[in-house]
Amino acid sequence: MSAKLIKGTVIREEILEEITKEVAKIKETHGVVPGLVTILIGESPASISYVTLKIKTAHRVGFTEIQDSQPVDISEEDLLALIEKYNNDDSINGILVQLPLPKHIDEKKVLNTIDPDKDVDGFHPVNVGRLMIGGDEVKFPPCTPAGIQEMIIRAGVETSGAEVVVVGRSNIVGKPIANMMFQKGPGANATVTVVHTRTKNLASHCKRADILIVAAGVPDLVKPEWIKPGACVIDVGVNRVGEKISEKTGKKIAVLKGDVDFDAAKEIAGSITPVPGGVGPMTITMLMKNTLKSLKSKLKIA
């Protein structure tokens, strides 16, 4: 059997198209568009490339976008003041501080200073709490888990009553996606097990999963014999395992591998996400969705 591929690259295009249409409609009826600011500290090439992609995507869907680049030696006090400035700016609906931050800055303090109603990354404790309560209380689901849930829904995978096993318990992926999958509502209502490095007999848990979500950061951790025939496998892992020359550009690029042995797993799973091109493209897409949601909630429109 060869599994159906759940491609984030395709789902991303569908969602960005929907967002673009909605933004145009709001502009016509209310005369405003969502505003997103990304704050970049320093010049790490990886951070610059993530921020550039976020800004490009925001521009594509019709948002007002600001890239606020600050020197690596900005003081914590000045950074907090900058965030407050955007908290009080009516034209800004989403504030994003690109992580990681330089060592002299307290990341927790920075994230907690962002107005929870503009915290489109969904990392503020208020939004983590809202996610835990579920239902209408949820304001900004964190982007990677929201992308995973959206992929599962759009792939037509039944979640109600399904056994979901999540490998990993990080604050940005494992914990929130586990929480989202057992809530009442569409794309949820599942029975969830979370496994981690202290779990005994990892394979036996994975084998029970109708939906297996893997976010461990260990290349090829999940073996084909751990997968229930016909299961939906969502591979969140992005692991750099080497370098190659791109056929397109002739430049050196990273060779990426997921946490699941893809070639073997696709012969057993019913559906599976590839790496790259699976969950990866969904994160920025859901950031756009959250920023639009922020403006809609301010305008009190559905």
Active site residue 98: yes
Return the residue of 34, 62, 168, 274 that touches ligand NAP, per CB under 6 A. 168
d(CA 300, CA 29): 13
Set 117, 118, 119, 121: catalytic member: 121
Return the residue of 172, 190, 233, 268 that touches ligand NAP, per CB under 6 A. 172
> Could you tell me if 16 and 58 are in contact, meaning their C-beta atoms sit under 8 angstroms apart?
no
3-state per-residue secondary structure call for 256-285: EECCECHHHHCCCCCEECCCCCCCHHHHHH
How many CA atoms does the CB half-sphere of 169 hold within 13 Å?
A: 8
Decide if residue 95 touches ligand NAP (CB under 6 A): no
229 three-state secondary structure: coil
Kindly determine how many residues on this chain lie close enough to bind ligand NAP according to the rule CB under 6 A. Answer: 25
Decide if residue 215 touches ligand NAP (CB under 6 A): yes
Decide if residue 94 touches ligand NAP (CB under 6 A): no
Stretch of 21-29, 63-71, 80-88, 209-217 lying at the interface with ligand NAP (CB under 6 A): 209-217
Decide if residue 96 touches ligand NAP (CB under 6 A): no
70 three-state secondary structure: strand
Q: How far is the CB of 222 from ligand NAP (least distance, A)?
A: 9
Q: If you count them, how many residues does the chain have?
A: 302
> Could you tell me if 130 and 118 are in contact, meaning their C-beta atoms sit under 8 angstroms apart?
no
Active site residue 121: yes
Stretch of 71-79, 102-110, 235-243, 263-271 lying at the interface with ligand NAP (CB under 6 A): 235-243
Decide if residue 272 touches ligand NAP (CB under 6 A): no
Long-range contacts of 57-61 (CB under 8 A, 24+ apart): 57/16, 57/284, 57/285, 57/287, 57/288, 58/288, 58/291, 60/16, 60/20, 61/16, 61/19, 61/20, 61/23, 61/288, 61/292
Decide if residue 173 touches ligand NAP (CB under 6 A): yes
Smaller CB distance to ligand NAP: residue 103 or 200?
200
Give the residue numbers marked as catalytic: 54, 98, 121
Q: Summarize as ranges the residues that interact with ligand NAP (CB under 6 A).
A: 144, 167-170, 172-174, 195-198, 202, 215-218, 221, 236-239, 279-280, 283
